[in-house]
Chain A
């Protein structure tokens, strides 16, 4: 970059850096502020020089903080703490505002995505221990049916009679050729 920097440039030359910078949407900040997630080992001077040389953004001031993460795990799993994240907020000489959020999420198939997540959540709950003992819609209807049977309002009949079939096995197989061969 040939233009003159309004600050003193560092002398450490980095040819092939291998880290990523994440720009964050910060509507609560004034437009001249931009916030980034940076690696833990970068400092304010690094980020100022990086933004100036790579992106041509002149920073006036830099603030930084390290956000410690919550402890996760527990309950038969090991406790661990994810790595902390470092966030830097720079004040620039020119304002910048993020483009608007998309309103239509069709390209990302949000409906399918949400439905799949809901299904996965249900399946996860069902696979938990004692999941069948928890309150469900089946339990309610079963209780109603049992109450009607006990009070004598309904009489119990086997299912093939309730279906109106002639015998127990009649009509189970619509296609007679698909019936399994039973050795007599």
Chain B
């Protein structure tokens, strides 16, 4: 109040009055210049500095709800592991022999017959040949698996017998391809004859329209009749699946058998 009266007397500018009166308390309510939040001295995380990756271990006086002594110990010995239930029809059993043992003895590997001959396979249908091929493939896979395991175990002899068996299988496979190649050439020859005879192989409309009936054509008709059925559905890759008419008529359809 005193100040106010003084200013009035000495024409002191009124806006400077607060500066003349010092504040009673020295603490000025103010904000820090930085706008970031102040750091706490200690954060609330109880697991600060505990890392499983760096294997730091626990902090001092850190307690867990599990004691270290109660933790289960891993069983590293494989013989003590619990037995795993394997499906008896698991597909990978086909990589093993009939006894389902890891290795076949040389005597058992050696007990096999000869390969299929081309003459025998000429009487088989494509389905039979295809099945026989896959039997061969699986047998070769088994032999490869056992040869690798035999070498790994350093088991002893048996390479020769295994190789001989595989050689026999390869001869069978070669005979299959030979038979199929023969069939393809037979089919191709029939196709050429059909083209020469002027048959319509485009697939649109009838393949053959009879025009003149003469007794002389009776022989040629029989030859041409068969390929025309084949022509309608044989395309590209499917050619191998086709069976020439000669083989079709004489086939017996027996079950395919392994080379052994």
| A interface residues, Cβ below 8 angstroms from B | 13, 15-18, 20-25, 27, 31, 34, 37, 51, 54-57, 92, 94-102, 105, 107-110, 112-114
Q: Does B149 contact A (CB under 8 A)?
A: yes
Q: Does B171 contact A (CB under 8 A)?
A: no
- The smallest beta-carbon distance between A82 and chain B, in angstroms, is 15
Q: A16-B133, A22-B145, A27-B78 are in contact. Are A108 and B92 (CB under 8 A)?
A: no
The interface centre, meaning the residue of A34, A92, A100, A107 with most chain B CB atoms within 10 A of its CB, is: A107
In chain A, what residue has the closest Cβ to B176?
Answer: A16
Given A27-B78, A102-B153, 5 further pairs, Cβ under 8 A: A15-B133, A21-B141, A23-B95, A54-B138, A99-B102
In chain A, what residue has the closest Cβ to B145?
Answer: A23
Pick from A16, A18, A102: contact of B102, CB below 8 A.
Answer: A102
- The smallest beta-carbon distance between B166 and chain A, in angstroms, is 9
Q: A22-B148, A99-B101 are in contact. Are A55 and B155 (CB under 8 A)?
A: no
**Interface SS of chain B:** helix
In the complex, the answer to whether A101 meets B94 with C-beta atoms within 8 Å is no
Q: Does B87 contact A (CB under 8 A)?
A: yes
In the complex, the answer to whether B144 meets A22 with C-beta atoms within 8 Å is yes
Q: A51-B91, A57-B92 are in contact. Are A97 and B86 (CB under 8 A)?
A: yes
Q: Which residues of A contact B100 (CB under 8 A)?
A: 99
Q: Which residues of B contact A113 (CB under 8 A)?
A: 156-157
Pick from B91, B105, B140, B177: contact of A56, CB below 8 A.
Answer: B91
How many chain B residues touch A (CB < 8 A): the figure is 44
Pick from A23, A37, A101: contact of B92, CB below 8 A.
Answer: A23
17 contacts between A and B (CB under 8 A): A15-B237, A16-B173, A16-B176, A18-B173, A20-B137, A20-B144, A22-B141, A25-B149, A55-B91, A57-B91, A92-B92, A97-B86, A102-B153, A105-B155, A105-B156, A107-B107, A110-B154
- The smallest beta-carbon distance between A133 and chain B, in angstroms, is 32
Q: Which residues of B contact A92 (CB under 8 A)?
A: 92
Q: A101-B153, A113-B156 are in contact. Are A15 and B130 (CB under 8 A)?
A: yes
In the complex, the answer to whether B90 meets A94 with C-beta atoms within 8 Å is yes
- The smallest beta-carbon distance between A177 and chain B, in angstroms, is 44
In chain A, what residue has the closest Cβ to B142?
Answer: A23
- The smallest beta-carbon distance between A152 and chain B, in angstroms, is 53
Provide the bound-state CA to CA distance between A102 and B107, in Å. Answer: 16
Pick from A18, A34, A99, A107: contact of B105, CB below 8 A.
Answer: A107
- The smallest beta-carbon distance between B42 and chain A, in angstroms, is 44
Q: Which residues of B contact A27 (CB under 8 A)?
A: 78
Q: Which residues of B contact A108 (CB under 8 A)?
A: 103, 105-106, 150, 155-158
Provide the bound-state CA to CA distance between A55 and B155, in Å. Answer: 28
Provide the bound-state CA to CA distance between A174 and B241, in Å. Answer: 79
- The smallest beta-carbon distance between A26 and chain B, in angstroms, is 12
Provide the bound-state CA to CA distance between A94 and B91, in Å. Answer: 10
Q: Which residues of B contact A102 (CB under 8 A)?
A: 101-103, 153, 155
In the complex, the answer to whether A97 meets B84 with C-beta atoms within 8 Å is yes
Q: Which residues of B contact A99 (CB under 8 A)?
A: 96, 100-102
